[in-house]
A and B are shown apart, each in its own frame.
Chain A
Amino acid sequence: MRSRIFPLIATFIVFAVLYLIGWQRFPAFGTTRVIANFLTDKSFLGIAAVGMTFVIIAGGIDLSVGSVVAFTGVFCALAIGSLGMHPVIAFAVVLVIGATFGASMGAVIHYFKIPAFIVTLAGMFLARGGAFVLSQESIPIEHPFFADVSSLYYLFPDRGRLSVIAVLFLITLFVGIILAHFTRFGRNVYALGGNSTAALLLGVPVGRTTISVYMLSSVLATLAGIVYTLYTRSGYPRAAIGLELDAIAAVVIGGTLLTGGVGFVAGTFVGVAIQGVIQTYITFDGTLNSWWTKIVIGLLLFFFIALQKFLTSYRGNFFVLRRRRAAVAPAEGTS
């Protein structure tokens, strides 16, 4: 367990170092305004990444989250603007749609034995296509509810604004941690990702867990879409393209193994925070181009994967095996 928690500690140290570098160069890094803005700006990525964490711990992948965010936005904009629905009702309807969508993907993956990568890829096309069919342009949303939501915030002493969507993000994170580590569902997810055959033999309801995991991911992606809609006050079918990659990167940087069975929801938060720090730094600096964000995130990804590889291989006697392979490979083959 201790070596499993090590990547998380390493992630946290990297986050702290990056944050301190930023703070040292730009003292504003320490203000609650920057921190609260980060929570608001990254809330939809964070919420989607929590869902992604569960999918990856269960040994799967979900490529559809970005498209689901876009679909949610367009759907809400149309439901509120054209159909005259109250936003809360529209949100409830779209959450049900999202849950059905995710559950269907899970069911196809489980019953038809089609790889999750392919099924969620088709789901990505479907959701994005659905968004395009509903509208090709960005639809602005004019509803008093949105103004009410954005006027609701907690004001810190130094004028940082903790918005409603930031609070939603924190709540999702908290619920995610409880769900992963303190419920039967969470244990089933870990068991499934660790070894699905063993999980089945031990009586873990594999089908139900698989379906629930993808449902959870899609519901959280829909919630992320709602947050995105509240944030931008519009629905846009090209929104959040590539969000799933940022989410996967956050999850992996946060110490979750892509092979499944190992990971922490809290780590995902640190993964999102690291991306936020890099972006804030680049914005503050002003001379660096935005593509440096991608390059730095990619390099961090490499660093963490190398670290994890080193640690997990060490557990599996990486070096011993290497040496023995070279010396007595044929003998091992027969034993």
Chain B
Amino acid sequence: MVNTKTSFETETPVSRGNLQRMLRNSRKLLFPLAALILILIGNWLISPNFFNVRIVDGRMLGSIVDIFNRGAPTVILAVGMTLVIATKGIDLSVGAVIAICGAVAAVLIDQTELSPFIVIAISIGAGVLCGLWNGVLVAVFDIQPFIATLILMVVGRGIAQLITAGQIAIFNNPTLEFVGKGVVLGLPFPIILSALVLILVYLMVRRTAIGLLIESVGSNDRASYYAGIDARAIKLFVYVISGVCAAIAGLIITADIRGADANNAGLWLELDAVLAVVIGGTLLTGGRFYLGLSVIGALIIQSIQTGIFVSGLPPTFNLIVQAVVILLILFLQSEEFRRPFTRLFMRMRKQS
């Protein structure tokens, strides 16, 4: 990173003009936000007490809280995935990393006398290692991200099963359980945790030059390299962040069920995370990224699921409704899909 100083200076006006930039992209911002609001209104119409929040034993309860609580792992994954996708990458291994980190935490807490904080640190360390593995394959060996992370996706669950010896590792430890079930200021701890992750990553990428460097590498890594950006280090960095995010999500999931299920923990969550990022308007081809919108994308996915749950519709329709709603959102975002409608609209305006 030779030119960090200069790129930081050129970045300052951009970050000051963040609001301007957001307004310029307001149409992009509009779609996911409108979709989320529409889905929430739809949920409200189906079950009128959707927005009701009760406080029982100093703990908030209600569907809306549930969306944020259940959606926390996907939100955290989506934050990491956004950075990876912004560098023109993809991280398919997060589901497997969740299983590995959950297994590490559950087995260590159950079979050793280590303090839970050290166990959590080791588990996150495992996430860093997984991220480093992916990052080295992508950044140093120049292997396509899809296939590089596919390796860990296939191997990861096997490793998690090795760690738990093929069983569902159950544990009993209030400190570790707090990560998944604790309550702070009336809010479930996963919500606080996901907000913290979002804020930390946001500050890290938008208040320093890192965000700009990531976007630059994603747009054109060769050009960025010639401009003095250490493209490899940036790529390595985003995969490590994604690994850490997966580890945190894994801790939440493991703590929530008080056990590590190597086969099912975080199964297909990588796909939800990628979807969330794409719904949020970040292109799979890399470049500009939108952390906040990815989080909204993750919340959209969760509100569809919660909505189906509270509507009393049989859960068998879960996947179909989810697929249809997501396809609708993606269609509306596709310019090619909108073009005939836009033309019609313009013609109507001309005539009147």
Residues of A within 8 A of B337 (CB): 111-112
Residues of B within 8 A of A150 (CB): none
Choose one: B142, B155, B225; the contact of A298 (CB below 8 Å).
B155
Cβ contacts B25-54/A at 8 Å (1 or 0 each)? 000000000000000000000000000000
| A297 and B320 within 8 A (CB) | no
| A298 and B158 within 8 A (CB) | yes
Does chain B have a CB within 8 A of A185? no
Q: Report if A112-B158 is in contact (Cβ < 8 Å); known contacts: A245-B150, A252-B147.
A: no
Does chain B have a CB within 8 A of A182? no
Does chain A have a CB within 8 A of B157? yes
Q: Report if A294-B157 is in contact (Cβ < 8 Å); known contacts: A112-B336, A248-B150.
A: yes
| Interface SS majority for chain A | helix
Does chain B have a CB within 8 A of A164? no
Task: List 6 A-B pairs, minimum CB-CB distance, nearest first.
Answer: A129-B319, A298-B155, A129-B320, A294-B158, A125-B323, A333-B226
For this complex, 17 residue pairs linking A to B, each with C-beta atoms less than 8 Å apart, are A112-B331, A112-B334, A112-B337, A115-B284, A123-B323, A129-B321, A129-B322, A130-B320, A132-B320, A245-B153, A289-B161, A291-B157, A291-B158, A294-B154, A294-B155, A295-B155, A301-B154
| A295 and B159 within 8 A (CB) | yes
Q: Report if A133-B316 is in contact (Cβ < 8 Å); known contacts: A295-B158, A329-B225.
A: yes
Most chain B CB atoms below 10 A, which of A63, A124, A245, A291: A291
| B158 and A113 within 8 A (CB) | no
| A289 and B141 within 8 A (CB) | no
Q: From residue A14, how far is it (CB to closest CB) to chain B in Å? A: 16
Q: From residue B129, how far is it (CB to closest CB) to chain A in Å? A: 16
Does chain A have a CB within 8 A of B274? yes
Residues of A within 8 A of B318 (CB): 129, 132
Does chain B have a CB within 8 A of A199? no
| A309 and B142 within 8 A (CB) | yes
CA distance A5 to B196 in the complex (A): 51
Does chain B have a CB within 8 A of A249? yes
Cβ contacts B309-332/A at 8 Å (1 or 0 each)? 000000011111111101100110
Does chain B have a CB within 8 A of A121? yes
Q: From residue A134, how far is it (CB to closest CB) to chain B in Å? A: 9
Residues of B within 8 A of A314 (CB): none
Residues of A within 8 A of B148 (CB): 305
Interface residues of A toward B: which range? 35 or more
| A133 and B274 within 8 A (CB) | no
Q: Report if A118-B320 is in contact (Cβ < 8 Å); known contacts: A258-B144, A294-B155, A330-B226.
A: no
Q: From residue A291, how far is it (CB to closest CB) to chain B in Å? A: 4
Most chain B CB atoms below 10 A, which of A126, A245, A302: A302
| Interface SS majority for chain B | helix
Chain B residue nearest to A63 in the complex (CB): B271
Choose one: B151, B157, B226, B330; the contact of A118 (CB below 8 Å).
B330
Cβ contacts B133-156/A at 8 Å (1 or 0 each)? 000000001111011101111110
| A305 and B158 within 8 A (CB) | no
Cβ contacts A271-311/B at 8 Å (1 or 0 each)? 00000000000000000010111110111011001100100
Chain B residue nearest to A128 in the complex (CB): B319
Does chain B have a CB within 8 A of A122? yes
Tell me which residues from 161 to 200 in chain B have a Cβ below 8 Å from any Cβ of chain A.
161-162, 166
Residues of A within 8 A of B166 (CB): 289, 291
| A121 and B151 within 8 A (CB) | no
| B142 and A122 within 8 A (CB) | no
Q: From residue A211, how far is it (CB to closest CB) to chain B in Å? A: 15
Does chain A have a CB within 8 A of B291? no
Chain B residue nearest to A293 in the complex (CB): B158
Additional A-B contacts beyond A126-B320, A130-B320 (10; CB < 8 A):
A118-B330, A125-B319, A125-B323, A129-B317, A133-B317, A249-B150, A291-B158, A295-B158, A298-B151, A301-B150
Residues of A within 8 A of B152 (CB): 298
CA distance A210 to B58 in the complex (A): 56
Residues of B within 8 A of A126 (CB): 319-320, 323-324
CA distance A122 to B301 in the complex (A): 12
| B274 and A297 within 8 A (CB) | no
Choose one: A118, A129, A295, A333; the contact of B278 (CB below 8 Å).
A118
Does chain B have a CB within 8 A of A174? no
Chain B residue nearest to A249 in the complex (CB): B154
Residues of B within 8 A of A330 (CB): 226
| B154 and A129 within 8 A (CB) | no
Q: Report if A291-B162 is in contact (Cβ < 8 Å); known contacts: A114-B330, A245-B153.
A: yes
Chain A residue nearest to B161 in the complex (CB): A291
Does chain B have a CB within 8 A of A136? yes
Tell me which residues from 95 to 146 in chain A have a Cβ below 8 Å from any Cβ of chain B.
111-115, 117-118, 121-126, 128-130, 132-133, 136
